[in-house]
Every structure is written in C-alpha cells, then in structure tokens.
C-alpha cells in the first residue's frame, strides 16, 4: 500500500530490530520481513540502519541481502564500549574479548557486508584503563565505520543516578 502511494525507501528501526517476529514465534522473522518488502514493485531501498544484535544476524538475513539489490548491505551494531567495567555499569553484556573474537557472526565471511558501530566515552565510572581497552578493541576489530559520542546525563535514566561522573573535558 505504501509503495503504491509512492514510498520508495523503507527504513526499519526498533529497539532491537533483529528480534522482529519473535513474539509471533517466527523463525527468521526479520529476514522474512525484509524479503517481503524488497520484492514489492516500486521499493527502491530497504535499510536496517540501527540497533541490531550481533548474535541475531542470521545466514537467512545475509542471504536476503545478497539476493536483493535494493537491500542495504550494512549493519549497525551499537556495542557502546569494550570495557567489562563500563558495560556492567551500562547494564549491557559483552566485552572486549568477545568483540575481538567474533565481532559479527557470519558477516565477516561476506566482503560486501559492512559493519558500523557506536561507542560512548565518558560514561560514569569510566577509568583510563577502560578507555584504553576500548581503543585497543577498535584497532583489533577494524569495523567499517565507528561513531564515538560523549556521554550526556539525562534525567530519569538509570545512568543519571550513577556516581563517578566523568568531566567531559577529559573525554
């Protein structure tokens, strides 16, 4: 219906896009969704620009990307940091060793898939050794694109209440 009305670009964004269809018990729900949009007449571009979980990128999704010229061939996986200490304070999983061991299952076997990520510096409690861990990881993993942002305090967020605030001038 949207394509018939002239919509040419479909950008799929959610808190965790790779979980699409899990509430409906769909196997490879995201791959199925992307494929069903990509085959619609008039659709020129399907993108998955944000918030993918690296462990949920499936071979089926990669296959859809390979088959459909109008599906963008990149993933944005927001790792946010590489230090176990900072990730723990962020209430996120992962660590530098895991990123270096396997930054995105399957996709490094495909030269045509780019991986972007973002990191936050200056998160409350971040120490010099945490920053060093982050930069060392970035050099080791060699993402295709990386965005680095300075932490900013947001009222009503869990991080707002954390101690050990980092001076933005030190980031």
Confidence at residue 56, expressed as pLDDT on a 0 to 100 scale:
66
* Cβ atoms 18, 30 nearer than 8 A: yes
Give the list of residues 6+ apart from residue 5 with CB closer than 8 angstroms, or none. none
Confidence at residue 8, expressed as pLDDT on a 0 to 100 scale:
94
Task: Answer whether 0.75 is exceeded by the pTM.
Answer: no
Confidence at residue 88, expressed as pLDDT on a 0 to 100 scale:
87
**145-150 and 74-76 beta bridge pairing:** unpaired
Tens-digit pLDDT profile for residues 88-124: 888 887 666 666 655 554 454 555 778 788 888 999 9
The larger pLDDT score, comparing residue 152 to residue 139, is at 152
Mean pLDDT of the chain: 82
Tens-digit pLDDT profile for residues 8-34: 999 888 777 778 888 889 888 889 999
With tokens 């209440």, the residue in question is: 161
**114-121 and 74-76 beta bridge pairing:** parallel
Query: Is the pLDDT confidence value at 43 over 60?
Result: yes
């Amino acid at each position: 219906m949207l394509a018939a009305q002239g919509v040419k670009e479909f950008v799929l964004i959610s808190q965790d896009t790779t979980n699409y269809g899990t509430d409906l018990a769909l196997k490879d729900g995201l791959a199925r969704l992307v494929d069903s949009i990509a085959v619609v007449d008039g659709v020129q571009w399907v993108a998955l620009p944000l918030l993918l979980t690296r462990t949920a990128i499936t071979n089926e999704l990669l296959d859809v990307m390979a088959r459909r010229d109008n599906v963008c061939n990149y993933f944005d996986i927001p790792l946010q940091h590489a230090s176990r200490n900072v990730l723990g304070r962020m209430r996120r999983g992962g660590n530098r060793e895991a990123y270096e061991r396997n930054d995105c299952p399957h996709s490094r076997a495909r030269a045509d898939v780019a991986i972007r990520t973002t990191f936050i510096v200056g998160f409350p409690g971040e120490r010099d050794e945490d920053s060093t861990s982050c930069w060392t990881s970035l050099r080791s993993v060699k993402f295709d694109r990386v965005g680095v942002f300075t932490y900013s305090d947001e009222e009503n967020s869990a991080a707002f209440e954390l101690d050990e605030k980092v001076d933005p001038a030190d980031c």
